[in-house]
Amino acid sequence: MSDQIFEFPNFKPPKMSMKLVLIGVAVLAGLAIVTGSFFQVQPEEEGLVLRLGRLVRTTSPGLNLKIPFVERVIKVPVQRQLKQEFGFSTVESPGRSRRGSQFLGESLMLTGDLNVAVVEWIVQYRIVDPYRYLFMVRHLEEASSSRPFYSSLLHDMNEAVMREVVGDRTVTEVLTVGRQEIESIVEQKLQALSTQYEMGITIDQVVLQNVTPPGPVKPSWDEVNQAEQQRDQLMNEARAAYNKVIPRAQGEALQAVLQAEGYSLNRVNSAEGDAARFNLLYDAYRKAPEVTRRRMYLETMQKVLPRLGGKLFLDEHADGVMPLLPLGELRKMLTTEPEGGAAQ
Amino acid sequence: MRREYVYLAVLAVMLFVTMDGTYVVEEGRQAIITQFGDPKGDPVTDPGLHFKLPFVQKANFFDKRFLQWDGDADQMPTKDKRFISVDTYARWRITDPLLFFQRLRDERGAQSRLDGILGGETRNAIARHDLVEVVRSSNREEVTTSKDSESEEETSNLQQITKGRKDIIRSILETAAPRVQDFGIELIDLQFKRINYVEEVQKDVFARMIAERKRIAARYRSEGEGEAARIRGEQERELQRIQSEAYRSSQMIRGEADGKATGIYAKSYNQDAAFYAFTKSMETFESGVDSSTTLVLTTKGDLLKYLVRP
């Protein structure tokens, strides 16, 4: 387009006013020259000026001049963070991600234990060297209106590197503990590969999105989670029952021991008390044993006799009474008429 | 009027000649000049404006950049007879545009040649290796944070490899690179973009994965029940231990106290056993009678003997 020069092979000048036409052409040409001389570079962009196909200078953001028709500008958003998505798409409806079988090709991959996982991720990158990006490497299906500066090469690199990394891990690792490690390793490897490819881009970040088992397998993974929770629940219940019983039993055991100790104290103290009393009594008794014994006997009798229900005094000469004594009737008589028999 | 036409015609011819006598090589491109289809001179790799003979010579442009070859996803068997579909991409560039022009004419030709060569070499390499060699790239050990027995069971799932993905890729590159050199092409890199099971195999793999999960789930459940039973058993044992220990201690304490008390009594009462018997019987007698007791006393006893013989 820049080296296009006007030519009029079969130009038939209209009769009326050659002058007017020439003026018109001059005005148009002037306008084209003026508009073709200026261009604006946005703050996040860098402008590459090509003079007849050769890169002559790069420009910073702002209003810039160029030679019309001879120079051409390519603007590259070097400051903008670009993004590619794998396994889903938010391009057509931003904010809402679309998933479907058409993206499954990107995200379905083999793990190191020859199982299958669905891994979705995004890569964020920037073009740091526009010259390299544009003129050292060709990207298929470049810049469409919905995805400017979309690099198919980077897309393929991502798929290859992600599969390489996932291919060295078990499906369990990929789905659970390995996420962060995968992100950082993929990031490193991608950066290394893009340096090797001299693409002029830098990888900012690789972020894993949904990482799931493939659809048909999913319920069985959920089942495992469920079973794991059931296991924990059963164990917790058993522990709860344990905790309900054992501390109480420990307390009760302590109670029994303490009670025994109490008994022990009581028993020994009583014994010591009894012994002390007896000792003191015995000391006194030894001084006059005969009279003391007699005194104690009589005192006891004196104390006991009034409380007795029945008293029967027998003369030592009335020997024959003993075998015939009707004790049962006597008692009845004694209890109904207390004075009767006793007054004998 | 006639003169003006002549001027215009001359101008037009001059313009056409200048136009056809120059050509522009864009950045990232290179050109070969052909004269009636016959290549003339060295390739032009310098970007900018260049001159050639108008009408006679023709400029043929080629890319100087790194180019991408994207292979189709091909189905092929591995050495261990698993059918997989392999999707590859490669990077290449035209290093000798003259040779490239002579042999292949244009990029379309190159792409189809690459299809044939890389597709074939990939197929050969895959057929010579087990699937796991293609999938894995190192003998990395599985890392797991779960402390339960699951880990030991699944470590065996990461099979050891002898070559791995990178070596296989390298061997494909090494055999393919010389074959494309004849076309003025340099092959720089090749990668497996996607490796997947073919549909029917995938179904089996899914079934296997499901079975494996079910096995793990069953183990979790049985583990839960087993562990609960163990805890219950432990509870029972602990209960018995605590209770019996308490019983033992309390009996020992009581016995010790009884012994001690007996010792104390014996020591004290042994001073005069008869007197002890006397006092004790007096005490018992005193506390052992009430109003329902009938006492029969004879005058032979100490208490009443004076009634008979004062």
Is residue A12 included in any domain, yes or no?
A: no
Chains A and B: how many Cβ contacts under 8 Å? 361
User: Under an 8 A CB cutoff, do A267 and B254 touch?
Assistant: yes
Residue A202 has pLDDT above 90, yes or no: yes
State how far the Cα of A145 lies from the Cα of A90, in Å rounded to an integer.
Answer: 15
Total domains present in chain A:
4
**CATH at A137:** 3.30.479.30
| CATH numeric code, B67-141+158-197 | 3.30.479.30
Across B93-115, average pLDDT = 89
- pLDDT score, position B201: 86
- pLDDT score, position A263: 94
User: What residue in B sits closest to A232 (Cα-Cα)?
Assistant: B224
User: Are residues A108 and A28 part of one domain?
Assistant: no
| pLDDT, greater one: A331 or A276 | A276
Name the minimum distance, in Å, from the CA of A271 to any CA of chain B. 5
State how far the Cα of A123 lies from the Cα of A108, in Å rounded to an integer.
Answer: 17
* Domain stop point among A161, A196, A213: A213
| pLDDT, greater one: A273 or B147 | A273
Name the minimum distance, in Å, from the CA of A277 to any CA of chain B. 9
Which residues of chain A make contact with B202, given a CB cutoff of 8 A?
Answer: 116
* Domain stop point among A213, A237, A268: A213
For the segment A228-267, what is each residue's pLDDT rounded down to a tens digit? 999 999 999 999 999 999 999 999 999 999 999 999 999 9
User: Are residues A151 and A253 part of one domain?
Assistant: no
- pLDDT score, position B152: 44
Is residue A2 included in any domain, yes or no?
A: no
Q: What is the DSSP letter of B140?
A: P
Is residue A58 included in any domain, yes or no?
A: yes
Residue A191 has pLDDT above 70, yes or no: yes
B294-298 vs A310-314, strand pairing mode = parallel
- Between positions 212 and 231 of B, the ones with CB within 8 A of A are 213-214, 216-218, 220-221, 223-225, 227-229, 231
For the segment B123-160, what is each residue's pLDDT rounded down to a tens digit? 999 999 999 898 988 888 877 655 444 444 544 567 88
Across A134-144, average pLDDT = 73
Q: How confident is the model at residue A272 (pLDDT cuts 50, 70, 90)?
A: very high
- pLDDT score, position B56: 87
- pLDDT score, position A337: 47
- Between positions 62 and 101 of A, the ones with CB within 8 A of B are none
Percent residues over pLDDT 90 in chain A: 35
Q: How confident is the model at residue B247 (pLDDT cuts 50, 70, 90)?
A: very high
What is the Cα gyration radius of chain B?
Answer: 55
Q: What is the DSSP letter of A84?
A: E
For the segment A101-111, what is each residue's pLDDT rounded down to a tens digit? 678 888 899 99
Range of the domain at A321: 308-344
Out of B193, B217, B238, closest to residue A223 by CB? B217
State how far the Cα of B6 lies from the Cα of B136, in Å rounded to an integer.
Answer: 77
User: Taking the domains of chain B in order of start, what are their residue ranges?
Assistant: 2-63, 67-141+158-197, 199-255
Which residues of chain A make contact with B135, given a CB cutoff of 8 A?
Answer: 110-112, 114, 167
Q: Which of A67, A114, A261 to mutate to test the interface with B (most CBs of B within 10 A)?
A: A114
Across A121-146, average pLDDT = 81
Across B241-263, average pLDDT = 93
Reported pTM: 0.71
A108-110 vs A116-127, strand pairing mode = antiparallel
- pLDDT score, position A3: 47
Across B81-108, average pLDDT = 90
Question: Residues B212, A221: contact at Cβ < 8 Å?
Answer: no
State how far the Cα of B125 lies from the Cα of A161, in Å rounded to an integer.
Answer: 20
User: Are residues A178 and A150 part of one domain?
Assistant: yes
User: Under an 8 A CB cutoff, do A223 and B269 touch?
Assistant: no
User: Are residues A161 and A104 part of one domain?
Assistant: yes
* Domain stop point among A76, A96, A114: A76
Average pLDDT, chain B: 87
- pLDDT score, position B176: 92
Residues β-bridged to residue B62: B30
Determine the length of chain B: 310
Which range, of A5-14, A33-42, A74-83, B72-81, averages the lowest pLDDT?
A: A5-14
User: Are residues A336 and A280 part of one domain?
Assistant: no
Q: How confident is the model at residue A323 (pLDDT cuts 50, 70, 90)?
A: low
User: Are residues A178 and A231 part of one domain?
Assistant: no
Across A4-33, average pLDDT = 74
- Between positions 91 and 130 of B, the ones with CB within 8 A of A are 91
User: Are residues A188 and A111 part of one domain?
Assistant: yes
Which residues of chain B make contact with A226, given a CB cutoff of 8 A?
Answer: 217
**Residue A168: is it exposed, middle or buried by C-beta count within 10 angstroms (0-12/13-18/19+)?**
buried
User: Are residues A283 and A224 part of one domain?
Assistant: yes
Which H helix or E strand runs over A204? strand A201-212
Written as one letter, the residue type at A239 is R
State how far the Cα of B176 lies from the Cα of B120, in Å rounded to an integer.
Answer: 9
- pLDDT score, position B147: 46
What is the Cα gyration radius of chain A?
Answer: 57
Which H helix or E strand runs over B20? helix B2-21
Is residue A113 included in any domain, yes or no?
A: yes
User: Under an 8 A CB cutoff, do A246 and B154 touch?
Assistant: no
Which pair of tokens denotes residue A311? 């008293």
For the segment B181-196, what is each residue's pLDDT rounded down to a tens digit? 989 999 999 999 999 9
State how far the Cα of A35 lies from the Cα of A58, in Å rounded to an integer.
Answer: 20
Residue A342 has pLDDT above 50, yes or no: no
Handedness of CA A249, A255, A260, A263 (dihedral sign): negative
User: Under an 8 A CB cutoff, do B49 and A52 touch?
Assistant: yes
User: Are residues A205 and A106 part of one domain?
Assistant: yes
- pLDDT score, position B251: 94
